[in-house]
Each structure stands twice: as C-alpha cells, then as structure tokens.
Amino acid sequence: MKTTTRVAVIGGGVVGCSVLYHLTKLGWSDVMLLERSELTSGSTWHAAGGFHTLNGDTNMAALQGYTIRLYKELEEITGMSCGLHHVGGVTLADNQDRFDMLLAERAKHRFMGLETEIVGPDEIKKIAPITNTDGILGALYDPLDGHLDPSGTTHAYAKAARMGGATIETHCMVRETNQRPDGSWDVVTDKGTIHAEHIVNAGGLWAREVGAMAGIYFPLHPMEHQYLVTDSIPEIEAIIDAGGEHPHVMDPAGESYLRQEGRGLCIGFYEQPCKPWAVDGTPWEFGHELLPDDFDKITDSIEFAYQRFPVLAEAGVKSVIHGPFTFAPDGNPLVGPVPGVRNYWSACGVMAGFSQGGGVGLTLAQWMIEGEPERDVFAMDVARFGDWISPGYTRPKVVENYQKRFSVAYPNEELPAARPNRTTPMYDIFSDLGAVWGQQYGLEVPNYFAQGDEPSFETPSFRRSNAFEATGREVRAVREGVGINEVHNFGKYRITGSDARAWLDRIMAGRIPKPGRVSLTPMLSPKGKLIGDFTISCLHEGLFHLTASYGSQAFHMRWFLQNQGEGVGIENISDRLNGFQIAGPKATEVLSASTRDDACSLRFLDVREMNIGMTDCIVQRVSYTGDLGYEIYCDPMAQRQLWWTLWQAGQPHSITPFGMRAMMSLRLDKFFGSWMSEFSPDYTAAETGLDRFISFSKNSDFVGRTATETERTVGVGRRLVAFEVDAADADVNAYEPIWLDGAVVGFCTSGGYSHYARKSVAMGFLPTEHVSAGREVEIEILGQMCKARVITTPLFDTDGARMRG
C-alpha cells in the first residue's frame, strides 16, 4: 500500500468515487481512496438509483444536470455500463399551491436551458398511463429523469479514476486522522499509516465518525428509508412488449416516487411517521445489511399509492428494501473546505447521490485544484452551518426535512422544528410587541410585528401573503417618522493590529476608511467573483469593525483565516456585539434625545463611540433602508437598557418596530442589492454595479484585481437592473425568466412590493446592449407574462439628500 499521497479520500460510495475521478480529470493523479469494506458499502448499494434535475436552487439543479450528462461520458471512458434508463419523469400537482411551485420551477428552467414542460391531466395519462389523474391539476415533465445501476455506476467512477492514476484500497479501515504542524495529515489505517496533504471525508453513513477523528462535528443524521419492488404487472409488461418503458412519477401528495423495475414497479415513500437511525452513531460493522421491514410506518402511504396507481393494488411484492441514508438539516450536501481546519474537505450528506454525486465531485475537485468552484455552491457549502449547531438541533431538523421532502417549498415559509434555538436579549420584549419570527443561521429574527387584528402567523404562499398589510404599515412608519429594528442579523468582525489596514487593503477591493469614517466595499475571489459585500468602520488606526451577512459568518471567517497575515488579529464578534438600527426622518431627533453627545454632527458614513443613556455604544451613520438612519452597536448585556432608552426617546415620534419583511421592501426603493440574491459568487462587481466601490487607484494588489481590471477593459455582457412590474397578486421571488421579443434574455435575482411607491419591483440581469431606461420586457411569474420596464431612478430620495443630509 502507498504510504504517501496528495489526497486521501475516505469512503468508497458513489460520492467518494466521483471525487476521486474528478481529481484525476482535473489533473491530480497522486490521489487515493480508502474504503473499510467493498466499494458501494453503506447507502450506495441499496439506493433506488433514480436521478432528476428538479431542485429549488438553480445551481444545484445545474450540478444535477451535469451529473446526469456525465454518465454517458463515464460509459465511453471506461467501457462499463451504468445501466442508464432515460425514461423521463412527471411531478404531479393536486392543488394550486403545488401547481404554483411547478410553474415557478418551470420558469427557472427556461433560462437554465432545461427542457421541462408543464403538462395537463390528459398528457399525463399519455406519458404515465398507470396514473389515476383524478384531482390532478397538472405536472412538470422532465425528459432527463431516469434511473441507473448504482453498483455499476460507482464502479465506472472507480475505473475512470484508476485510469487517471488514482489508487483504491479496499478493506482498509481508517482508525485515526492526525494533523501535522504543517497542515498535512497522518491517516492511520489497519494496513499502516498514510501521509496525505489533504483529506476528503466522503464517509457517507460514517461521516460523523470519520469527522470525529479530527475533532469535527458534521451536522448529519441517517434516516430509515423504505421502498418496495413488485412482481410483474400486466400493464407494465404491455408497455415493454410495445418497446417502451414507463417513466418516473413523483407524487408529492402521496409522498412517493415510482418507476419501472424489470417487469414491475419500484415505489418508495417519504412517510410522515419516519424514523432516525443510529442516533448514537453508525456501527462500524454495518455495511451490506438491510434494516428489518417496517410496513406499519408506510401503511397510509401505501393506501394512498393504491389510489394514485391502481395497478399496485393487484401486484405482489417481490422485495422490500429498507436501509439508511444521511441528511443534513436542510437536505443539501455538505461540501468544501471545513472552516477552521487546514486541508480537510467535506463531501458528505449527499442523500441524492445519483442525482448530485457527479456535481459534488466536480465542485470539490475545482475547489481543491483551482482554488474556487466555477459557480456559487453556497447551498451545499459546509460553511453554511456555524459552530452553534449540535446533534440536538440536527436530528429534529433532519426529521423535518425528510417529512417535507415532497412538500411545497414556499419562498416565505418558516419551518418550525428545533425552534426557537438561538435568541438575543430582545426575544421576550419583541414577542410582547407582536413579533412574528423567522430565523437566519439558527437565530430568531422578527419578520414583522403583528398589531391589532393583524395575523400572528404568516401563511406560506407564492403570492402576496397575509403579512402584506402589516409590512406596509411598518414601511410607512419608517418613511414618515422613525422605525427601529435589531442589528443582530449582521455578521460582525473585529480586525486589529499594526498591519490591519494593509491586510484589509489586500483582502478588500474598496477603499479602507480613515479613522472615524465608514466605507462600503466588495470582497472578491481571485477570479473576480463576489464573495462578500462589506461595511468597514475605522474606529481608530489599528481597530476596524466589519459587517456583512449574518448567515455567511463561517464562509467569510474561513476566507479571512485562509488569507490571514502576520500582525493581524481577526475575531468573529457577531454575537458579542448587538444593538439597533433607527431609520426615518425623525431618527436624528430620537438619537439626540438619547445622548449628551452631538448627534447632529454625525455626517453620512461617520462612525463614533458615543454614550447613549447608560450604554457605551458605537454609532455609525448608515442605513440599509436607504433613509436617514443610524446603526447603534453595544454589548448584548446592555442591549435591553439601550432599547428602553431609544424606545422612550422615540415615543413622541411614534417610534415603530419593523422586521425583515419591511426591510426588504424598503431596500427595493433604492435598488439596494441583497447578499446571495443580487450579490453572490455567481456574479462580478461590474455586473452588479458594485465596481463603483472598488478603489482602482489604491496602491494595493487586492485579491481579484487582475480579473477585475481585465473586466473593466473588456466590459461585461450583462448588468443588474431594476424593473417596475405590472404584477397582480404575486411578485418576483427569484430566478423568474425575463423575456424580450419572444425569447428569454435574462433572469430575476429578487423582487417584491414597494409599499412606499406602491409598485411591484424586481431586480435582475439583462444583456448589456438591452440596458436602457424604460426598456420594456416581460417577466414570467407563476406562468403569467407580466409587462415590466427598466427603471434607473430610485423610487425614494432620488438624489440621496435625506439619506446623506
């Protein structure tokens, strides 16, 4: 056995073999895979083997499309069969909400180039003739859906990797992973110790145990999953005899998926009375075993399936497959460099291995070899969860995700499991004021405050929700008087040291402010992609505060620490600094009444240490509402006292608490972008307009400078613009296609309703040659073509006089 390798991949399922293959495909041949038993042990061997492109995240859908297209390439490379059956598939909708979701998905697919289509009940009967379409409104048909041979596909990945120079060691049990001072690893196995520069945890059912060897907790949990294979069915035999094959059918109402298997059918269930497996850890001796049959938990699902697919009622059951596979709390994989641990990579939690495994392997190989993936993969980035996550949180969220696998996914839905989990000192005060809570990164965040007979629960919907009027009331309160909300949902960082300014000049593309001032800046990857949208405050030389998206803390800290230099201290103080934002025309009067300092002397983008009431604070003149406003930060231990000071000072001005629903409406008035909507690693600064904050004149070779200067010279092919939309009761959410002259030319990034301007507003990308004020387009919203116009003048405070004055 080799004793040294560049990369040691731990785990020989489909994901581990895909990672190994893609590393060789991108040029690293000194790589090896370690498997404690045989390839496909664990979840891979008993998988149903289905694949599909449908996914609510467009980048995940694109990676699933890559995975599906890859199988024919693997067959050509290796001469092995993956057992491909491209039979197509339909996802059924039995109510308007499900149908709205399919319409939204089809719209996304238009600009992605996927050939899906919406079909009616008559067409469903032609495509999937065993389906009872009573009560069905329609379906989404995807010609790429299909199934394959799990074992053959995994071995094809493995052979292709070997052909590229990789080594595979089976029956090689990893006992320990010990890191050396230089960041490399000693991987101790029962066959000897291997010195590896990098480790990839592709442990599948054992990913938790493999991670624990390095002191890492991976938020994963296995779930029991059961599917049935029937005896021969005459209706299926007739299709086969006619030279055909029955397609997949996903029936969300019945929580089931169905496909042809031989001359019968295979049907699996995501049942509500589901069961977590191996709560206290996956046994090492488990491998090619199955779990005992458990028909009790799927009785209701089977009865529903008999109604939807009547042929099942007369079919005998040939076999029952009941085995475990792993989920993360949100159902997406955990991929990428593990924050805080050098040279340790994750390829875990890939519950849909034959839909996503190829994309996961490609993404991880690009990340390792090229420094960054080609697309935004935050939806599966291991850094989307923070240090706060625990097994006690993971397990109920995994159960919830399993139960909702086929449920309608609403854009405004707030899932209840494991909540409330993390709260600030304001939780009870805000609850008493009628807060209707959402969550971000495990933290409770008010979406809005219900007053009087306003709803205390927001109904999930693809259309304007029952929180519409409450949101409008809060928006008007800010624009006409003064509003207050918490700044807990900002990520906050303290940068200190003699070289702090020089380090920030290198890590950030924008201007680094002088003492007492604030600046806005993008943070770029080496390829010039956006990886951060930051506010920088210089309290004094050698002490800077940074704020950005709260949900990207681990993502941003990983980048900071990977690039940390000597003489620079970096601290994540997101939960050690809190406070409030006050915004609106009366904000200065409230602040002045709360302090003996001269609040009126604070200019736009000033920052100052001030005493407010009894509380020492950091106050900066900036506001995401686009209005006159201040962000006020303090020690969370003093936050309640700060609240009462500001609240009492605001009473003469009818100060009103407002939540994130109002915030996202207010920012549309000024066309302010939102992180992971308008600004993400899919886009560059010039495409989004953030290049106006880049300091090309500064004497610093900032990260991404070469790529950005090239783009500045060459120009960009698309630009982010705002639209006024003629929408009825549904606004843009994200990824709706933009049509011009009968063709899809762009897509939306976000949108909503401007309660101030009383207009539906969207933001999205258009080809540069089509960007002009008043340009008329159509935006497809839930299957309806809505007229829209490019707008270039902000809907509020058009010259910025109030915000800056």
- What CA–CA distance (Å, rounded) separates 537 from 545? 5
Residue extents of the structural domains in the chain:
4-327, 490-572, 578-665, 666-697+709-803
- Domain 666-697+709-803, CATH: 2.40.30.110
- Strand partners of residue 185: 179, 196
| CA dist list (Å): 251 to 55, 120, 307, 404 | 15, 15, 11, 13
pLDDT value of position 176: 98
The parts of the chain modelled with pLDDT lower than 50 are none
Backbone angles phi, psi at 44, to 5 degrees: -60, -45
Query: Which one, of 116, 118, 121, 117, lies nearest residue 137 by Cα?
Result: 121
* Six token digits for residue 18: 């895909």
CATH topology of domain 578-665: Gyrase A; domain 2 (3.30.1360)
Concatenating the DSSP letter of every residue in 216-246 gives: -----EEEEEEEEEE---HHHHHHHHTT--P
Q: What is residue 111's predicted lDDT score, i.e. its pLDDT?
A: 81
pLDDT at 45: 65
CATH code at 490-572: 3.30.70.1400
Rounded to whole angstroms, the Cα distance separating 612 from 618 reads 10
Question: For the domain 4-327, what is the CATH code?
Answer: 3.30.9.10
CB atoms within 10 A of CB 73: 14
